[in-house]
Structure 1
Amino acid sequence: MADVLARRGRDRLIVPGYLCSSMIEPFVQRGWRISSLGINERLGVPLDASRVLQDVPERTVILLAAYFGSRPDPTHRALIEEAKARGIVVVEDTTHRVFEPDVLGADLSFASLRKLLPVGDGAYVSGDEEILEVASGLEESDSERWEAMDLKRATLDGDGSHGFREIFQRENERLEDQGRIRRATPRSIEALSTLPYDAMAKKRADNARTLRQLLADAGISVMRRNGDGIPSHLVLQLDAPPVLQARLAQRRVYCAIHWPRVQGVHGLGPWRSDLLSVPVDHRYGPKDMERVASAIVEEVSR
């Protein structure tokens, strides 16, 4: 994507004020100037975000994302319209809302699918024929994640070893070291055509609702989202998330790692370091949410 846009004269990227380094790494490597549009208290587009659209629009790309399954709010939508009217290329990252992937008229959209779906590899990109052609010419993934997933399932069923952790770790290291830009495997493509998306989305919504109420009853703060949508996680606001994350892991409740502050982004404001994402996906039900809530309440009260 970065190479194709660069050939068209683009070399400036505007990003949200909260993101992971992998989102901008290809642009950093190619020497783009990267600036922040900021972030509001709910991790949405701030009301004054249009201030970042003034400079050299013909050279600019803006990357937007609605986090943790929130639906893009009116400010988000208005920024897309204004950016496009100025001639800025708009890219929408729908990774956290693949169950409702409305791209809002963006020029390009993409999502990493392993974040929310049970596939061993895969992402999608849409909206630009040249970029799609480049993507279709990539080598097929040689990831071992499907092997690790199969082994994990066998282990949980009592019919396998514990070697899946080592494979996952090895694949994570390969991804971090090499980028691993490949086409999805046929198995992932087949899985994506058969997944019960409606049932999975309902499970997420039900689990999030149950856990939110249990934690609210215990006085634990849950981040309010910008709007309705299918939640990717339930996000807690805490004083020391890494401490609670480690304690929950000891109790076999595994929460997602939030991003360290990125470097090289101009105008980046205060960094959110008070968030912890709790899983609410389709593997779980009310009893699981009760166990998770109990563990969180007990650990927060220590």
Structure 2
Amino acid sequence: MTHQRIEIGSEFSLDAQHSIPKDDTFLHRLEDFQTMYYRSGRSAIRGVVSQINGRRALIPAYICQSVIEAFEQENYILDFYTINKDFSIDIDDVSRKLTEATDVFFLMHYFGKLQSDDDLQTIHNLCRSCAATIVEDTTHSILTKPRTVGDYCVASLRKWFALPDGGVAYRVSGELNAAPNCVNRSFTNARAAGMFLKGLYLEGLTGGHEVYRDLFAKAEKWMDGDNEAGEMSELSKQFIAGFDVGDAVSKRGENANYLADHINNRFVSPALGTYRAEESPFFYTLYVEKRDGFRSYLNRHHIYCPVHWPIEDQRLFEFATVKYISEHLISIPIDQRYDLVAMEYISRIINQYEEDSTEGLR
């Protein structure tokens, strides 16, 4: 006899049901664009900026380290602009730093909410006046809106559902360079094996979780050292066709707004708050004064939250708001794996934080 285990967050699990074709998928949502599917979002960025063939890029200081590395692997010189605590763009900072020497402006939307229409129009006008190409990262926002003002768009699709590998580059018109063939599939194979093993673990059919966690860690370490900006695997292309986007959008919005209505703890505050019907949240984000202690408390209750993002590049420490976000933000999983019963559990655990987590408050 088996019993299901509870684990909220961390990597997605995989089973054969994920390969059954659906009617509303990323393939359908992007059918009006020219697309090229890559092994990762990082590879998609490299493919695009290599095609642009520029020398200098202006990118947000609040960004994943892999984005910085993707540009630098293509020999770009980087300048950084600041992001405010509400994840809006510091337009004054952009206006000062965007010059005729800028070849690429990298635009990011955060956690499913789009940058404001006014800011997007300003960015569009500034980039046109400087002849800079806008590369729009839609990793967090692709299910809210696949494009706003980007000349090119890029996204990491594997962050949204059970996908061994997968990123995409797309644009409204014009050709995209083909993604190179991948010689080594170690990353894909390790992640696929880990996802299947995690599914078996959660169903109570295998023992400890050490094996699949080790596979995930080794896969990411391998990707960090990889210089091959290759294509998506055929396996992942099958799973993309099996991911029901509409169902995911509905569940994510419902889950995020449940947490917005039910979390009530003086040690946390919402970073973004309630989502509108047309917005698809990536995570539900909170600011916590002593984030690491709070995160450890959630881990002890089997709620696993990523950090978006640890600062690895020393140049980013000069941006005070970015440093604050990196040290105080926590991202609560609200994706399509979970229902309102799970959200009730999460909110209850968070609301009990003061009583049960004295070591995290010191």
TM-score normalized with structure 1 length: 0.88
Cα separation, partners in 2 of 1:15 and 1:293, compared to 1, 3 Å: same
Partner residue in 1 for 2:110: 67
Partner residue in 2 for 1:189: 237
Letter in 1 for 2:351: V
Structure 2 distance, partners of 1:29, 1:122, is 19
Any idea what SS the aligned residue of 1:257 has? Answer: coil
Q: 1:148 is matched with which residue: 194, 197, 217? A: 194
Alpha-carbon deviations, 1:193-250, whole Å to 9, x = none? 22111111111000001111111x4443111269742111111111121221122112
Question: How far did residue 253 of structure 1 move?
Answer: 0.3
Q: Is residue 278 of structure 2 the alignment partner of residue 234 of structure 1?
A: no
Structure 2 gaps of 5+ residues are 1-44
Any idea what SS the aligned residue of 1:26 has? Answer: helix
Q: Is residue 248 of structure 2 the alignment partner of residue 205 of structure 1?
A: no
Any idea what SS the aligned residue of 1:95 has? Answer: coil
Q: Is residue 81 of structure 2 the alignment partner of residue 37 of structure 1?
A: yes
Task: Specify which structure has the bigger relative contact order, considering alpha-carbon pairs within 8 angstroms and separated by 6 or more residues.
Answer: 2
Alpha-carbon contact 1:139-1:183 (below 8 Å) kept: no
Partner residue in 2 for 1:253: 303
Cα separation, partners in 2 of 1:261 and 1:63, compared to 1, 3 Å: same
Identity of aligned residues (%): 22
Alpha-carbon deviations, 1:108-134, whole Å to 9, x = none? 11111111122111000113866532x
Letter in 2 for 1:168: F
Within-5 A mapping of 1:30-109? 30-52=74-96, 54-57=98-101, 59-78=102-121, 79-109=123-153
Any idea what SS the aligned residue of 2:352 has? Answer: helix
Any idea what SS the aligned residue of 1:235 has? Answer: strand
Q: 2:344 is matched with which residue: 274, 278, 290? A: 290
Stretch deviating more after TM superposition (28-37 or 270-279): 28-37
Alpha-carbon contact 1:19-1:262 (below 8 Å) kept: no
Paired residues in the alignment total 299
Stretch deviating more after TM superposition (222-231 or 101-110): 222-231
Any idea what SS the aligned residue of 1:277 has? Answer: strand
Structure 1 gaps of 5+ residues are none
Any idea what SS the aligned residue of 1:105 has? Answer: coil
Alpha-carbon contact 1:204-1:230 (below 8 Å) kept: yes
Letter in 2 for 1:158: G
Q: 2:319 is matched with which residue: 269, 272, 295? A: 269
Within-5 A mapping of 1:13-24? 13-24=57-68
Cα separation, partners in 2 of 1:8 and 1:234, compared to 1, 3 Å: closer
Stretch deviating more after TM superposition (95-104 or 66-75): 95-104
Letter in 2 for 1:71: L
Alpha-carbon contact 2:99-2:130 (below 8 Å) kept: no
TM-score normalized with structure 2 length: 0.75
Alpha-carbon contact 1:174-1:180 (below 8 Å) kept: no
Alpha-carbon contact 1:73-1:227 (below 8 Å) kept: no
Letter in 1 for 2:297: R
Alpha-carbon contact 1:111-1:123 (below 8 Å) kept: yes
Q: Aligned-pair RMSD on alpha carbons?
A: 2.6
Alpha-carbon contact 1:121-1:188 (below 8 Å) kept: yes
Any idea what SS the aligned residue of 1:97 has? Answer: coil
